[in-house]
Structure 1
Amino acid sequence: MLSIFLFVGLGLSYAQDSDSIEINLLDDFQNAQSAPQKMKLFYDMPNRYIQNSAYDWLEVVNVYLNSSEKTRDTLAVNTYRIMQSQLYKDIGDYDKSVAIAKDIYTNKDSLDKNTKALVLTLLDENYGKLQMYDKQIEIREAKKSLGLTEGVAFYDIYANMGLYRQAMKQYILAVKPTIPDNDYLALARHHNVVGDYLRLDKSAPTAITEYNKATGFLKVFINDNSNEKTEKEIFESESLKAEIEGNIGKSYVLLKNYIESIPHLNESIDVLSEYNNEEYADQIIDNKLYLAEAHLQLDNNRTAKRLLESSFGEMTAQQELKRNRLLAYYYDKIENFKSASLFYKRNERITDSLKANELSILKQQLVAIVGTSDLENSRKLINQQKLANDKFRSEIQAKDERINLVFISLVFTLLGFAGLVYAYLKSIKNQRLIAEQKHFIENSLKEKESLLKEIHHRVKNNLQMVSSLLSLQTRNTKSKAAIEALEEGKSRVKAMALIHQKLYQNDDLSVIEMQGYIESLINSVQSVYKKGGHNISITVDAEGTELDIDRAIPFGLILNELVSNSFKYAFPESDENGKIYIHLRQNGEGGYFEYADNGVGLPDDSDERTNSSMGLRLINRLVNQLQSKLNVDKTKEGVRFWFNYK
């Protein structure tokens, strides 16, 4: 039933009852009356190759193209050539696809905006496949200049180059501001992508946090009955849920938590396999390989072998390498070294094939840059230049009177060469001096960084010692008020110690990434209040915000006070439905901070208590230190603190 639903939702087939007839998409394309109608059908089909291959489509499109060229129908010619370029790209002939698209774009003044967008998108995708990232950036800049800003970003280029952390930052800056706060499906998709970048960057624990956020937003979307959902949205949410489960499973494998990974990977494979959609083929294969790896590590060898020998369909070279590597590992474990060596040899052949493919891509890059006709013209020019040079040499040899001139020219050339040699030797000497100075400066910087890290480490250890002394004092104190005061002091010391811990763990000693710091701080406060705060839903929105130590310490102390107050006073009866929201956003040199909970709120005499409460007086002074003023909203349910800072 699920397959029928998906086919109806995506328009891949039209099945109404047992007597219905499946429509062939290529026949439907040929029955369209005009070239624009054919173009619309071509690009509206989610999976045009489900019944006919790209080669079948190319044969049909070429027939229409030839017919249009004979009738000199310029609009139809451009339309079919765009489809021709798309088909060459889908086949893998990227250089041909680029040549056609570039030729169409040479007459860009005669193209409408939608056609320009299609052609530029084709060039963008082809350059990406050819790994010509500089050309890809040029195309996207051209899109921006035409006002085609939708989907124009650069994070995918960073990801293709293996710069996943930079890709993540660019993705957050480009996509997060465009997502409305109530678009929970888009927010789930966003956090899933952020998790993918973190997982690929070998930051599996943080990736799992992002995947859990994505799952949370997806649950809100699914359970929201106030907005009627389309079939497409239901399909997207179900498939996204399966994707996230698979990603969580892969992250657990990277963390070597193999038992935890297995149910997530199994669920993802089962759901995505039901969809019978080529879009998820790569994910299913990856999930199977990670699942097999988990079973091998848990010594479930038979299960792993069954998975690795199952039908995988069309695999990428990297997937094939991993499958062979896992099979070789399996045979090594059971001491069947002959079979293991066969799979090692297969990987050697695949590696050789990859090198050959790299050469093929280089050739396609050359053709894409120069073009076939340009290469022929270049050869002709070279031959012509060669004939001209031969003629010139003959004339020189025939004219003896030019010998003296040649000799003088030679002398000057030698003098010039001697000058160049002298300048070159001097340049080498200068470069050596610069290299030595650079080496000295780098060593000095490394030494200073090491000393600074050591200072932060020692400060953190000293603060931990102070915290331990306060704990000892607490055990020897009988006064309840004194114990509470000591616990509050210990919590504040821990908040400052955490700042220094984050600093010496960072590669960049100048700033602190606040999202991770706030999450660690909340865990620290929760450990103090063991009997409360664990059922409260806490949302932290500080992704991408980085602060220096002068601002991070006041923020840490402010948050410590606010979270402690919420745990102690906001939910006196039950914290089952308790919620805390923390928002921190950087904006140029300043920023905005907001803290809210849905507890019982502040008492009526809170203004009078401000002067007597140590916590509130401390918060006000810390806010003043950030050159701002604390605002308190007591009109709504709970309480809200906010301020702008510089």
Structure 2
Amino acid sequence: MKTFFWAVIFSCSLFSQESNDIHSLRKRIDTVQDQKIKVGLFTDLAWEYINQESDSAIYFSEAAKKLASSLSYPLGEAISLETKGLYYEIVKGNYEEASKLYFKAIKICDENELTYSSSIYHTLGVMFHTSDNYEKALEYYQIAYDSAVKNSDLVLQKKCLANMASINSSLHKYDTAEELFVQSLMLEVRNEMNYDIYANLGNLYIRKKEYDKAIPFLEKATLQTPENTESEGNLRFLIDAKTALKDSTGMKLIIERAKKALESSSSLRERSIMTMSISNYYRQFKDFENALKYRDEYLKLYEDIKEKQRDETVYELEAKYQTERTKEALEKEKKQQKIYLVLFIIGLILSGLLAILFYKNWSKKTQLSNQKKLLEATLDEKNILLKEIHHRVKNSFQIVSSLLYLQSENLKDSQAKLAIKEAENRVRSMVLIHQKLYNRDELVGINTKEYFGDLVKDIFQSHQLKSESIDYQLNIEPYILDIETITPLGLILNELIINTLKHAFEGIDEKGKLNVNFDKEKDCLVLKVKDNGKGFEGEVKNTSFGIKLMKALSKKLKANLEYHSNTNKGTEVILTIRKFNIIS
């Protein structure tokens, strides 16, 4: 869920009040007479370059520091050091260097009794906040807040309170977060910040399932005003709250605004969340055609996000590999220079012999090269055909899944609806297999860690009402298994988790927990699914289709399926697999 925090109000608030685009700032630097104002313009310009991730930010922050020092202007020195620190924090991700610069700036403020040190402590808090070091962030926010109270700096007080509330909300300390958000709203300054605070309060109440309290704040957070830049993005939270309350008041206009926001948004993540909210709304109010339409759009966006994340990871690994390769090449070149002379003399002697050997082998190599090209072309063609097969199988399964989904929504009998839902989950587990085979260069194997992670997440998303009070933990070793092994294994895991969600946690008071472990033990693969549910006594009944399916699939894997359970002590199911094929 989205949380908000505010970065430091930068030097432009102290020096310049006009447009801060690079062109206008450069023009003002050339014409301004007051040298202290010029220091501020240098830091403003550095900030603009930070936004562009340009190294020019270093040049202008250092120019500001040099000019401020020559003017004996400590406030300008402190702000220029802070600006340089922001460059290292935001552009370079070098928090250590950024911290050194921030503390140098604080030292200058303390030596000259400047109140601006409180703003720099807030900047330190933001740095640790963005890196999820909440303990340190709270420490520096508190220092900044105490100083702001002492100096009657209401704007900084408001930012600190909102940021501390955001952290407490992330830590699930909702009462403390609510109190801090309300305190920040009571400060009648920088009212444009209130919209983000309204959104945070609304989201906090959604987390607490107090939807009726959330709606008034979210309605304020979605007001269309020039000051509220997040109005359309916050619509999805308002839709979620009204959907939970089954409240359709004013929803026609809200949904239309949300659809327009989808068209204008460039963020895959924001669009995927919005489409899911719209789909859930239509589903709640029985408009199954639109519910299915936006659900399919969500699945497509979700696949695009996963593909983008995979591409970014590959790019990072390639960059790291190329860097290491270049370093090794340079070291190797230095060593080679010492022996080039000897190699040159030996080369002259051997060149004649090599020429003869080369001529004899040339015709043979040419023949082998032609054969290799033919084999590669044949292999590429087969890979393309295999990839197309996986793609078509995935699409076919997806159509079946969608048909099952539509059928379940039109059924009134709960048992029939549940049976269709279980069938949809089984089909979805096979969709994931062919989807991953289609998206990977490796066409015959599936990574267990990725597949099991996506499968469990998919099951929990499709059982929202039952799974929202259940935590799960995965401990999966990343083996590459062939499709003959992973398909029955995925179906068995699907049945075990669904059975747990259906039966294990009914009537228990404590929060449900589900653990899934998968590893190799001696010559077997072992899958363990454990819960802290109500358990059962006696033998497992073999009457249900799910139990029969798991037993049949276990035979295919030459596997033993064992149940260990006691009333009120939970259940552990252990699948020991003897027939499998690990590709890598």
TM-score, normalization: structure 2? 0.40
| Bigger Rg, which one | 1
TM-score, normalization: structure 1? 0.36
